[in-house]
Amino acid sequence: MLRLLGFLLNQSVVTSKDYCSPSVDSLGLPSLGNQTCIGTSCTQCSAVCPTDAIAVADCSNGGNVSLDLGACIGCGECIRACPEGTLVANKNPSVARFKREDLIISNVEKRQTQEASIEPSIFARSIACRVVSTGCSACDLEVAACGNSIFDMERYGINVVASPRFADVLLVTGPVPKAMHEALKSCYEQMAEPRRVIAVGTCAISGGLHKGGYAEANGVESLLPVDLFIPGCPPHPWSIIDGIRKVMSGSVERGA
């Protein structure tokens, strides 16, 4: 017992004090910078994209690039390929959005990301999450990492629970292949209202690399209403914590 106490006291405090701090080494998701695009005479970015997340079109002042972060796997190939510097790395982990269309960004019509705060917070300062994994385990590892002593999501009132009956929020990772459809739906049905669904990671948002195959792994939206989308492949633990906190602060338009 004394050895244990001594051991624990020797471990210094490691919990990160900065909330949602951008990571210096991380590649992050791509974003659109201020440099103009030259248009369809160069489509190097869309050619290298493994998930066809980028579309380039011509418009009056050069090119219109639109980038779907909900399909992006963050491989960084487009940033390396872009000769103009239109595509840049975004190191800010606060990437979660309430609407699917807000994940599609464009350099011409800068979309107004409206995080309309219509309802007051329904979850106050504590939220219970049920995690259902249906994918490659990357997002699961990152969700699990949110609970370690570095990120420590419990200090924000976020708990992971072992049954849908206790859960406020269903966190779904992975593209939801056919064999998981029934299990995921029944898990959702057993949650008490009000309940929310968060799609964690690109596969859960759009099916990612698996979209359109015979296993019908096309993401959560084909089965359940989704309230928040956290893009990334996998999202950084800070992106996940920040996303869950967005749901906690109650900026959801849809009724329960």
Partner 1 sequence: MKLERDNVKLDERIDTLRPLLHQSGNRLGLISSIDGKQLISLLLNTSENRAVCWESPLQTNRYHSLAPVISQAHWFERTLWDMFGLEPENHPRLKHNLLHEAYSTDLIPLLAEESVSSNGKPREYLPMAVKGDGIYEIPVGPIHAGIIEPGHFRFSCLGEVIFNLEIRLGYVHRGVEKRMCELPWRKMRFLAEAAASDSAAAYALAHSIAVESCFDVAVSYKADFLRTISLEIERIAMHINDLGGLAGDIGFLAISSTMGRLRGTALSMAEQLTGSRLQRGFICPGGVVFDPSDKLKSIKATANWLRKELKPVISFFMSNEVVRDRMENVGKVSPRLAADFGLVGPAGRASDQKYDARHHFVHGVYPRVRVPIAMEIGGDVLSRAKVRIAELESSLFLVEQLIDGLPEGDVCTKLPDALPNNASGIGIVESHRGELIHLIFTDSQGQCCRYAIKDASVNNWTGLAIAVRNNLVSDFPLCNKSFGLSYSGHDL
Residues that bind partner 1 (CB under 8 A): 3-4, 7-8, 11, 14, 23, 25-27, 48, 50-51, 73-77, 80, 131-138, 140-145, 147-150, 160, 162-163, 174-175, 177-184, 187, 203, 208-210, 213-215, 217, 233-234, 236
> Nearest approach, Cβ of 142 to partner 1 (angstroms)?
7
- Per DSSP, the residues of 1-27 read -HHHHHHHHHSPP----STTPPPSS--
Residue 63: CB minimum distance to partner 1, A: 23
C-beta of 32 vs 217, nearer to partner 1: 217
Cα distances from 255 to residues 100, 135, 177, 221, 252, in angstroms, run 17, 29, 27, 17, 8
Whole-angstrom Cα distance, residue 53 to residue 31?
Answer: 12
Of residues 71 and 252, the one with the C-beta less far from partner 1: 71
CA-based radius of gyration for the chain: 20
Cβ proximity to partner 1: between 61 and 163 the closer is 163
Cβ proximity to partner 1: between 52 and 253 the closer is 52
How far apart CA 6 and CA 87 sit, in angstroms, is 51
Q: Which two tokens stand for residue 127?
A: 């939220």
Least distance (Å) between residue 211 CB and partner 1: 9
Q: Which is nearer to partner 1, 98 or 238 (CB)?
A: 238
Q: How far is the CB of 255 from partner 1 (least distance, A)?
A: 26
Q: Nearest distance from residue 187's CB to partner 1, in Å?
A: 6
Which residue lies nearer to partner 1 by CB, 18 or 25?
Answer: 25
Phi first, then psi: give them for residue 181, nearest 5 degrees: -55, -55
Q: Which is nearer to partner 1, 108 or 215 (CB)?
A: 215
Please report how close the Cβ of residue 7 comes to partner 1 at its closest, in angstroms: 6
Q: Which residue, 30, 95, 90, 85, is CA-closest to 63?
A: 85
- Closest contact distance (angstroms) between CB of 115 and partner 1 is 27
